[in-house]
Amino acid sequence: MHAIPPGRPGRRRARSTVLALVTVVSLGLTTMGMSPAPQDAGKKPQRVSDAAAGAPAARTAPTAPTETSAPRVRSGEHCEPTRAGSKERRAGAAEACVTTIPATATPRQGRAAAADVGSCDLTNPGNYTYKRFAYCVTGLTILYVLRDSNGKEIGSGTLEVSASATLPARGTGWSEQITATMTRASGDVTALNAKLRASCTAGCTTTKTSPWYGGDLTQGKSTSGSVTYSSTPAANTAAEFTTSYKMYVTSPGAAPTDPNASWDNPRRIRCDDAVRDVTGGTPSPGCAIPTVMAVVPMGAQGSDPGGAVAAYQWAQQNLADGWGKSKPLTREKSGTAGRTARTCGSAGTQPFDPNTDLVETDTCGEFPFAEAKEGGIDGARCVEVIPNASSGGWDTYILGDSRDMDPAAPCVRAHVPAADKQFADGQLTAGFESQRVIDADRFQVEFTTPAAVPQAPCLATPPTGSLPSGTGWIKNTTDPVAHVNKTITPIGPAGTRPAKAQACLGKTPGKGKEASGDITG
């Protein structure tokens, strides 16, 4: 070894080596002591797990929650006298009575299938079924009865009504398909005539009120058609409203009077033009069922800069709060910059310290998001992680000893490249728009990242103290020395020298950098 003159520290360049195959390297270094800047042992990343999410697909449609509610119907029986000289009166019917029957416990034999029922629960007839962008009802039963002057039933028939609609995530007009089927007839009732009118409350317009014309039905026959609605909320506002239905049921040829069957869709529909904040560009209006919680999808394929998405997924799966899953988040447009500063900036008691040695263009990715009311937790309370792409999936490294990681920590700070943070921000913004998440809406988050694929043993089980490097890892150890430099007067202080370097390099190695320090002994 050539001695390096005093006062001029030696410099060596460590370069990355691209390997065609996964390789393990173990080097025992016996050079003289070096004096590198010490690394805080409490900040050394420790690999803890793969952050694979099962299915390899990304940006898939989120799992849509389904909820049910009973329609609001007119209670009791509604009766009207039959008209003098009418067919019913000539047959001995003094009155015609109609009852709108609420939910039935179990589906009856021969129940008619609803037209375009979509997400309807056919085992729960008589109830409305809801998803974020759909509603429907099946088996809403209307009973028609004729009675004589003594109150004796001389005939009856039943209608079953179904309705379904899909709301536009982009757009403010939609149609609702409605079907009426005569399911039973007895006595003097051999046919029924059903006419329907739909309406909606303030904030909405029914642009087509009647789904069909005519409507004479015999047992087993159906009639169907659509009604249409629209809503035009002003910019940065939302309109909420309900839909209502009135059905006139008579014997064929009889003149209908008051609507004798009516019901309301019990849940509000919301159309908004308020998804994006004032800096987010031109809003796109759309409609949803606001009482069904939105599920925002965030996904990253293997070719995407998905480090931040993988880190957020890891936090959701491994921290006790389970933000966005077991604990919903709440969108809050105002105060985003302040919440970011508390978690990642100078407003917290421990500002984010970029580690560009390990992560080029290191940027702070925080979860819960600053775009949520629950964000803005002091960064000193967060677990700090480095997500690392490995064999198609993601490994997660914790800064510090992973054995001491507290799952009760309320947040995570991820060391990710700027491009990965930007990618995740874009996913969140797109999710808010696709799911119509406006200010104060609660929402869940569903993450999808590639599943890990089979890999070399050294990649699957990196040693304690290893650091992420590209799609692999590196580990350097040192031995103590009495003096870092004996060629100067006075001789150098105690220090360390490299002892062993280990690496498991994937097909995408990390970038090398210069190494410097005194190496004479």
- In angstroms, the CA 243 to CA 266 distance is 8
pLDDT tens, the chain, 521 aa long = 333 233 333 322 232 322 222 333 332 322 223 223 333 434 566 666 544 333 333 344 566 788 989 898 876 788 989 888 888 888 899 999 999 987 654 434 334 334 344 456 556 778 899 999 999 998 899 999 999 999 999 999 999 999 999 999 999 999 999 999 999 999 999 999 999 999 999 999 999 999 998 889 999 999 999 999 999 999 999 999 999 999 999 988 777 767 789 999 999 999 999 998 655 566 689 999 999 999 999 999 888 999 999 999 999 999 999 999 999 999 999 999 999 999 999 999 999 999 998 899 999 999 999 999 999 999 999 999 999 887 668 888 898 877 678 999 999 999 999 999 999 999 999 999 999 999 999 999 999 998 765 555 676 667 777 777 766 777 888 888 877 777 777 887 887 878 787 877 665 666 655 554 444 44
> Helix, strand or coil for residue 250?
strand
Indicate the angle between helix axes 307-318 and 418-434, nearest 10 degrees.
70
Other residues' Cβ atoms within 10 Å of the Cβ of residue 75: 9
Per-residue exposure over 226-258, b if at least 16 CB sit within 10 Å of its own CB, e if not? bbbbbbebeebebbbbbbbbbbbbbbeebeeee
Sequence length of the chain is 521
Other residues' Cβ atoms within 10 Å of the Cβ of residue 271: 27
* Main-chain phi, psi angles of 442, to 5 degrees: -85, 145
- In angstroms, the CA 289 to CA 268 distance is 7
Are 170 and 286 spatial neighbours (Cβ–Cβ below 8 Å)?
yes
Separation of CA 502 from chain center: 41
Determine the pLDDT at residue 87. Answer: 83
Among residues 312, 387, 381, the alpha carbon closest in space to that of 343 is found at 381
The ranges assigned to domains in the chain are 34-64+293-512, 67-272
Determine the pLDDT at residue 349. Answer: 94
Determine the pLDDT at residue 74. Answer: 72
Those residues whose C-beta lies under 8 Å from the C-beta of residue 139, and which sit 6 or more positions away, are 104, 107, 111, 114, 125, 126, 160, 162
Determine the pLDDT at residue 217. Answer: 96
Determine the pLDDT at residue 122. Answer: 59
Determine the pLDDT at residue 30. Answer: 26
Are 142 and 100 spatial neighbours (Cβ–Cβ below 8 Å)?
yes
Those residues whose C-beta lies under 8 Å from the C-beta of residue 236, and which sit 6 or more positions away, are 273, 274, 278, 283
- In angstroms, the CA 144 to CA 163 distance is 20
Among residues 137, 202, 143, the alpha carbon closest in space to that of 164 is found at 137
- In angstroms, the CA 474 to CA 451 distance is 23
Antiparallel, parallel or unpaired: β 467-469 and 442-448: unpaired
Determine the pLDDT at residue 16. Answer: 30
- In angstroms, the CA 291 to CA 288 distance is 9
CATH class of the region 67-272 = mainly beta
Determine the pLDDT at residue 53. Answer: 36
Those residues whose C-beta lies under 8 Å from the C-beta of residue 425, and which sit 6 or more positions away, are none
Separation of CA 174 from chain center: 24
Determine the pLDDT at residue 142. Answer: 94
Determine the pLDDT at residue 483. Answer: 75
Among residues 207, 198, 203, the alpha carbon closest in space to that of 229 is found at 207
- In angstroms, the CA 474 to CA 397 distance is 13
Are 89 and 82 spatial neighbours (Cβ–Cβ below 8 Å)?
yes
- Strand locations in 260-328 (E): 261-264, 269-272, 286-288, 294-299
The token pair that represents 66 in the structure block: 């389904």
The token pair that represents 445 in the structure block: 């988050």
